[in-house]
Amino acid sequence: MYIAYFDETGDDGYPKRETELFVLTSGYAHHANWQTNYKKTLDFRKYLHQTYKFPIKLEMHTKYFLLNKNPYRQFGWDEKTRLKIIQEYADFIASLDFEFINVAINKLKITKTNQTMYKPILDAALKFNVQRIENTIKASQPGTKFLIISDEGSHWNDA
């Protein structure tokens, strides 16, 4: 059994939209690895707290972090430090026993010819992402299932 976590960025509106892109990312791992991944993550967050005073439970939103926006501005990190933290985050994520899939839908590329494939946007992104997970798992472990977990974002109320 695999455990998959989904999260999105951008709005899923079309043709009315606030963003040009809608991105749905999934991260998934075999259930036998979740405790090790969790412990590594907690240890890494403790390291960030000890080294940079980064709050253990504060979410990382890279765009706001790199632009020194709230809630990160209060910590007074200079650009060099923020870049070092991001590099450490990237190295840490790469060290986990975890797979990632990103589905990006560029709403500017939707035409009358292909629009039925992308309506609604969230459903299309979810379908493409789930198919990729299924195909990847099926290739190495036929018959293995996965469980989807998501945050409580407003997008999921209608999916």
Judge contact between 104 and 22, C-beta under 8 A: yes
As a whole number of angstroms, the distance between CA 27 and CA 37 comes to 12
Q: Which residue's entry shows tokens 């960025």?
A: 9
Task: Domain ranges for the chain, please list them.
Answer: 2-157
Cβ neighbors of 13 (< 8 A, separation 6 or more) are 121
Mean pLDDT to the nearest integer, 5-26: 88
DSSP letters for 118-133: GSSHHHHHHHHHHHHH
pTM of the model as a whole: 0.80
> Helices then strands (H, E): number in the chain?
4, 4
* For helices 34-52 and 79-95, angle between their N-to-C axes, nearest 10 degrees: 160
pLDDT at 74 over 80: yes
pLDDT tens for 97-118 read: 999 999 999 988 887 888 777 7
Q: In what order do the strands lie in the sheet with 21-30?
A: 99-106, 21-30, 2-9, 146-150
- Cα within 13 Å of Cα(10), Cβ side: 21
Query: What integer is the mean pLDDT of 121-143?
Result: 92
To 10 degrees, the CA torsion angle through 138, 129, 66, 63?
-170
Q: What is the CA radius of gyration of the chain?
A: 18
Report whether pLDDT(4) > 90: yes
